[in-house]
Chains A and B, each alone.
Chain A
Amino acid sequence: MLGYIVRRVLWIVPVLFFVSVITFVLMRATPSGPFDSFGAGRIAAPGVVAQLERKYGLDKPPHEQYLRWVGNLLIGDLGPSYKYRDRTVNDIVGDGIWVTVHLGVMAFALSVIVGIPLGVIAALRHNGVPDYLATFISVLGIATPSFVLSILLLVFFAVTVRWFPSYGWQTPAHWVLPTIALAGFPIAQIARYTRASMLEVTRKDYVRTAHSKGLKERSVVSIHMIRNALIPVVTILGPIFAFLVTGSFIIETIFSVPGIGRYFVLSIAQRDYGVIMAMVMLFAVTIAVMNLVVDVLYAYIDPRIRYS
């Protein structure tokens, strides 16, 4: 098991290398650079642009820039931000990452706490009213883009009834709306997976056996069904967790959450190269680690799976 984990961790390195090269090439192939405009859509003087590019080493050949970036990365330096001139990428990521993780973890917890029971109930009352209700909720959740859900929450709970503030992250009251908005989609996703998976195990022999040997319904469901039904669900929990903790541009923008999720999109529009690279790498690392965690979890949930 330990050997397996070590091998998997070592594999992450070449994956990250390819991700960084592809990102770097695509980023630099995009027309224009970080200094071509300033202010409200104003075009910078060519002399100023050239000076800035020299100042930040962007006039060097691309491979040299890439190597310098890798070198700095190895000593934990993500480089300067071209947009926020007095700040480094480390400052920006360091300020925002815990807010984003905080929001992501809360949304993840909410989606698991709501999503799994919703799926279980739907499956146990297959084709009954609770099933239809749960299915309706999850279809609605899947079909509603997060910006629609966010805006509806914002308008109703912040503007109309004023139970929660509309922007910011200062107090727990500020956390409520973004968490619900972010959890909307994963709740639906998890509920659907859980339901489908539960329905599948219902027909398994071991469930019939459990029933026929006289186990209580409660024990059958909790010991035999849910545990087995969760194996496929865990598969999607990994990527869901990775997506949630790396933040959402839309939700962080609408609720003015000071996280890093917004930089996924903003940094690209601003051609803030250092921030783009940092965001992509952060996402890649999170996905890779979460996939590993999921694979290891399999071994615990499913005794049939063994790694060597």
Chain B
Amino acid sequence: MWFKKFLGVFVALGLVLAACSTPGTSPSSEASDGASQPASEAPDVEQVLRVDLGGEPPTLDPTQATDSQSINVLRSITRPLAYYDENLEVVPGLAESWEISEDGQTITFTLKDGIQYSDGTPITADDFVFSWKRLIDPREAAGYSYIMADVVGGEDLLGVDTETATDEDIEALLDAFGVSAPDESTFVVELARPAAYFVYIATSWTTVPQQEGFSFAEADGYVSSGPMKLVEWEHNAQIVLEPNENWTAGPAPTIERIEMAMIQDPAASLAAYEAGEIDIAGVPTQEISRIQGDPELSDQVLQGDVLSIYYFGFDLKDPEGPFTNSVLLRQAFNEAVDKETMIATTFAGLGTPANSLVPPGMPGAQDFELYPYDPEKAKADFDQALADLGIAAGDLGLEVGFNTDANHEDKVAFLQEQWRQAFGIDVTPVGLEWGAYLERLESDPFDIFRLGWGADYPHPNNFLTDLISCSSGNNNMGYCNEEVDALLQEAAVAPTLEEQVPLYNQAQEMVMADAPIIPLRMGSRFTLVKPWIQNLVATAQDSNTGELFYDQVSVAAHE
């Protein structure tokens, strides 16, 4: 948005002024005693957690939810078969246990005893059959339907042409879809091919139990399956959660009330935090140095990895394109970028340089660097590549695409300058509004284009198969290496993570040798948390800090 750039500057200015003018009364001063006594939960303190969603959730229908606001709320008010512990290991959720058959193609989940929805209705295996079918039903057109592709009949349902298919056709395909409930507490998934990572799919917010007739539009009548329940949804204003009395599938919530604000502007969210109106807030990049320099606020910073990557892809779909025809050229463009400096200058020093795809904090993350910053080698490779291609540097005429309204300008300018210095060529940055940008990526991709990827589930399959395999819809580069795909398929069959990781690593090394992208930065969080908020567990999977375990937070005495 056009005004955001200015907004940031003014907030920075304003907040600095504010901080200067009232040295003794900065918002957090009353909080220090809470910080010095960890785990001292005072029972007389109101157990209320106040967070900011960053906007109105587009939906609280688990099947349809695709954005961080909706997911943030769903993590607390629904629960899938499997869930995570604080290290993102998969642990039982509503299922007590699961068994994977010898051939890796049947997973049998056994539900916990006596589990109920917030309205007292029992949760049965049929509810999972219903919600899993709903997720892949073409008539629902769910954004995440593709995660069901491995289930028997999944590919058929994903391939349905809804223009010609009748309801009977679709019903028949849904009947053949490989999920079933032999009894009330047993849920069986038949896979079309062994997929060892599949239990991670059963941790997704899209796979939580539902019954026919659930309504998701308002708090009134919303049926929750998680530790918290939705008690108030004032659209565009706030959501309030309270403990679900019928929750027995895990520890009882320690928090008594979660108030979720919907502050759209990150700078305003930070102001609300500094005004003491919310307990957790993200920090916009331009504010980071001020927070780091503030003696009070810098003590409240919570940092950590986020499972996401920021990269630039090469267009490999154009058969005539220079990048399609020269691995060496792609490598040269990688070698010419100083990622450390880029992160220091354009990301306020936040995040780690990315040299591969799988981010730290995820199994299979590797520390290897094929293309260390070396402008001289880059130049030599660049010259060699052009000589092989028979193109003059002046004829390259490269376009670098990015989407506007999300602060990518300085990153693109940085790369432009790096390549100008290394190769003496000028790339042309092209910024388009997001919708128009997507259309260009589909119809006429830029030579180099900016994209990012965040984890749906903490398993390398989500960063390799789902992103870079030949048939992946997210592979905008058009990169295709059959050997890589073969390795990924092999990894999907390997029964344990220990056996899978070396295969994923091998595939990843092969991808990086082909250099279809320039990986730049692995995600990182910089969040402020009030000192009286205790037992907040942040994981690399959270898009809002602590969202996986809000129910286990407690509030210490303060003010």
Residue ranges of A at the interface with B (Cβ–Cβ < 8 Å)? 30-33, 35-48, 50-52, 54-55, 59, 83-87, 91-92, 95-96, 145, 147-148, 151-152, 154-156, 158-160, 162, 165-170, 250, 253-256, 258-259, 262, 265, 269, 271
> Given contacts A36-B435, A86-B61, A250-B3, are A51 and B17 in contact (CB under 8 A)?
no
Contact of A38 among B11, B66, B163, B215 (CB under 8 A): B66
CB contacts (< 8 Å) of A31 on chain B: these are 435-436, 439-440
CB contacts (< 8 Å) of B268 on chain A: these are 154, 166-167, 253-256
Q: Is the CB of B439 within 8 A of A84?
A: no
In chain B, residues 227-275, which have Cβ atoms closer than 8 Å to a Cβ of chain A?
234-238, 261-265, 267-268, 271-272, 274-275
Q: Is the CB of A269 within 8 A of B263?
A: no
**Bound CA span A66–B150, Å:** 40
Contact of B142 among A42, A43, A48 (CB under 8 A): A48
B143 interface residue per 8 A CB criterion: yes
> Given contacts A85-B59, A155-B14, are A32 and B439 in contact (CB under 8 A)?
yes
**Which B-chain residue is minimally distant from A96 (CB atoms)?**
B236
**Which A-chain residue is minimally distant from B158 (CB atoms)?**
A47
Contact of A50 among B64, B142, B162, B265 (CB under 8 A): B162
**Bound CA span A84–B439, Å:** 22
**Bound CA span A299–B439, Å:** 54
* 12 further contact pairs, Cβ within 8 A, besides A32-B436, A48-B145, A95-B236: A41-B403, A43-B474, A55-B141, A83-B58, A84-B58, A145-B6, A151-B11, A166-B271, A256-B262, A256-B264, A256-B268, A269-B433
**Bound CA span A271–B433, Å:** 12
B376 to chain A, nearest CB (A): 35
In chain B, residues 259-318, which have Cβ atoms closer than 8 Å to a Cβ of chain A?
261-265, 267-268, 271-272, 274-277
CB contacts (< 8 Å) of B473 on chain A: these are 43, 45-46
CB contacts (< 8 Å) of B272 on chain A: these are 158, 166-167
Q: Is the CB of B216 within 8 A of A155?
A: no
Q: Is the CB of A147 within 8 A of B6?
A: yes
CB contacts (< 8 Å) of A37 on chain B: these are 434-435, 438
**Which A-chain residue is minimally distant from B159 (CB atoms)?**
A47
CB contacts (< 8 Å) of B36 on chain A: these are none
Contact of B56 among A32, A40, A84 (CB under 8 A): A84
CB contacts (< 8 Å) of A148 on chain B: these are 6, 10
B398 interface residue per 8 A CB criterion: no
CB contacts (< 8 Å) of A84 on chain B: these are 56, 58-59
In chain B, residues 161-207, which have Cβ atoms closer than 8 Å to a Cβ of chain A?
162-163
B130 interface residue per 8 A CB criterion: no
A235 to chain B, nearest CB (A): 29
**Which A-chain residue is minimally distant from B68 (CB atoms)?**
A40
Contact of A39 among B18, B68, B163, B434 (CB under 8 A): B68
A240 to chain B, nearest CB (A): 21
CB contacts (< 8 Å) of B116 on chain A: these are none
Q: Is the CB of A40 within 8 A of B146?
A: no
Q: Is the CB of B275 within 8 A of A165?
A: yes
